[in-house]
Amino acid sequence: MDTEKIGDVRIVRLQGRLGEVSAPQFEDRMKEMIEEGEVLFVVDLGGLEYISSAGLRSILSTAKELKKLDGLLFLSDLRGPVKEVFEISHFVDIFRIFGSVQEALEAMPR
């Protein structure tokens, strides 16, 4: 995963797989950034090929943490199997999901 800061928003780009083995690393990295004071995130899933329930939980658990801090976590560019897993888990109903990072950034409060 790589990250980039645009204005007040931290963009997190995920690649490859977010499953039982990799999800804890993502969650730990997100926790670190939150502890450093970051509260606005766009997590770009365009490069993600695979997500399991462990991956979903790591994103949800991060979003729950941010919600307590009045932060935001938007998602962008869900594709293929990742989109399908979000749909069957009804995560598309609880997250704000955008077609691109740019669209997600435009929806962030200024």
Partner 1 sequence: MAETVRSAAKIDQLERILEFVRSCAARAGFSGRRIIDLELAVEEAMVNICRYAYTEHSGEVEVACLQEPGGILRIEIVDRGRPFNLLNAEKPVFECDIGRQQLGGLGIHIIRNMVDDIRYRREGDKNRLTLVLHDRKQNSPSTPDPAGPGR
**Where do contacts with partner 1 occur on this chain (CB under 8 A)?**
19-21, 49-50, 52-54, 56-57, 60-61, 63-64, 67, 80-81, 85, 88-90, 93-95
Judged by beta carbon, residue 6 or residue 21, the one nearer partner 1 is 21
The pair phi, psi for residue 44, each rounded to 5°, is -90, 115
- In whole angstroms, the minimum distance from the beta carbon of 90 to partner 1 comes to 4
80 vs 99, beta carbon nearer partner 1: 80
Helix (H, G, I), strand (E, B) or coil at 1: coil
Cα-based distances in Å from 29 to 44, 75, 106: 15, 17, 25
Antiparallel, parallel or unpaired: β 9-18 and 40-51:
parallel
Least distance between partner 1 and beta carbon 43 (Å): 13
Tally: H helices and E strands in the chain: 4, 5
β-pair type (9-18, 2-6) = antiparallel
User: At its nearest, how many Å lie between partner 1 and the CB of residue 4?
Assistant: 24
Given the complex with partner 1, which of 6 and 88 has the nearer CB atom? 88
- Which of 90/110 has CB closer to partner 1? 90
